[in-house]
Amino acid sequence: MTAPALQTTRRCPYAPLEQHTRIRDTDSGISQVTLPSGQVAWALSRLEHIRAMLTDPRFSSDRRNPNFPQFTRERRAFLPRRSLIHLDPPEHGPARKAVVGEFTVRRMAGLRPRIQEIVDEHIDAMLAGPRPADLVQALSLPVPSLVICEQLGVPYHDHDFFQTRSKALLSRALTAEGRKQALAELRDYLGDLIAKKAAESTDDLLGRQLAEGNDPEDVVSLAFTLLLAGHETTANMISLGVVTLLESPEDLAALREDSARTLPAIEELLRVYTIAEFANSRVAVEDVEIGGVTIRAGDPVVALSNAANHDPSAFGEADEIKLDRGARNHVAFGFGIHQCLGQNLARMELQIVFDTLFRRIPTLRLATPADKLPYKDDALIYGIHEVPVTWEEPA
């Protein structure tokens, strides 16, 4: 019997696909599916199982493994030479330790004034411009892009170049040749940038990695990963979060009255949307039993993270958006040794954007109904292509 095709296109922005919840509701919560690449993989759908997998060394994150889950037939050829997201122990620990200090809570707190300045500057520009404005181009995309550029030491004036290439790499719809070209152009750009930094000894994250004696090719791969993840994910969460809050006036009013509610609301938005839905996938390197099912060595495993983040056994009234829930046991940032390096930065950016935007533009509203917005059904990271917004001039 052929395993059914895995559904990957969302029909509702904030709910898991019906197929994924059906798998979750089976006795085991595990089923075999056929990926878009034609590969047959095990699908895990419960939070407990996915968290167990992500902390079990018998599952590998090495995307160079020929059995690693592939969502496009040509994907493996386009991976960086070596990257944190590819590494297993014992290589992973030292590589992560070399960069994790750049993302501590203390270092992030030091970035807060500059992020606040960036947010205010972009809101100033949006207010001075025409209405309606596209929130994505005015705020959601440029804020995290500028923040990660400054942190890495990437010239922001090149943002159009790397944003278009990043968008191409994350699209399921692009041809193999188009994706290959986008990757080559981005890697050539980063290679040239790293070579200049090696000669100039710059005081930024990438420059410090070179100063520590790290292989320039490894620094290129790190730059690729952080640049791609550092703007796309946060940008999409800004857009989705703003739409959600504008559609829920009572929740928005509560956040305006008490900024202490913002961080719990962010956790709920992260859980509800789970924008990097399939990022927690792995390949078994030994036989493992999960939920009474034996997964054999060499079997690909796909984590249905959105279904897991709506798992009723882990979250009460899991399909309801409760902005005061504040649960942090979701897997939107992954779990275990590969948990997202930039999660502290992402939370802080979201907090500053939401608090500042709704304080400074209290009459902000959608200029297009939420159900008519162009959601990123064709992307590997979920979001919205365009969010037209408008507001009333102050009296």
Residue boundaries of the structural domains of the chain? 18-385
Residue 366, SS3?
strand
For 110, phi and psi rounded to 5 degrees? -70, -25
240 — pLDDT class (breaks 50, 70, 90): very high
Which range (173-182, 217-226, 271-280, 333-342) has the least confidence? 173-182
Predicted confidence (pLDDT) at residue 79 exceeds the cutoff of 60: no
Confidence of residue 73 (pLDDT cuts 50, 70, 90): low
Rounded to an integer, what distance in angstroms lies between the CA atom of residue 293 and that of residue 375?
Answer: 35
Residue-wise over 30-63: b if at least 16 C-beta within 10 A, else e? bbbbebebebebbbbbbbebbbbbbeeeebbbbb
What is the average per-residue pLDDT within 26-45?
96
Give the Cα separation of 226 and 84 in Å (integer): 10
Asked if the model's pLDDT at residue 241 lies above 50, the reply is yes
For residues 125 and 138, the answer to whether their CB atoms sit within 8 Å is yes
166-186 tens-digit pLDDT: 777 777 667 778 878 888 888
| Residue-level pLDDT at 179 | 77
**18-385: what CATH class?**
mainly alpha
pLDDT tens per residue, range 108-124: 999 999 999 999 999 99
User: Residue 227 in contact with residue 148, Cβ under 8 Å?
Assistant: yes
* Residue 180: predicted pLDDT: 80
pLDDT in tens, 252-300: 999 999 999 999 999 999 999 999 999 999 999 999 999 999 999 999 9
Q: Inform me whether the pLDDT recorded for 140 exceeds 70.
A: yes
Q: Which of 21-30, 277-286, 377-386 has the lowest mean pLDDT?
A: 377-386
Which has more confidence, 352 or 225? 352
pLDDT of res. 344: 93
Average pLDDT on 37-57 reads 97
Question: Residue 72 pLDDT > 90, yes or no?
Answer: no
- pLDDT of res. 54: 97
| Distance from C-alpha of 273 to C-alpha of 383, rounded to nearest angstrom | 9
Higher pLDDT, 290 or 12: 290
The C-alpha angle with vertex 278 and arms to 300 and 60, in degrees rounded to 5, equals: 40
Average pLDDT of the chain is 92
* 8 A C-beta contact, residue 247 and residue 373: no
Helix axes 262-273, 343-360, angle to 10 degrees: 120
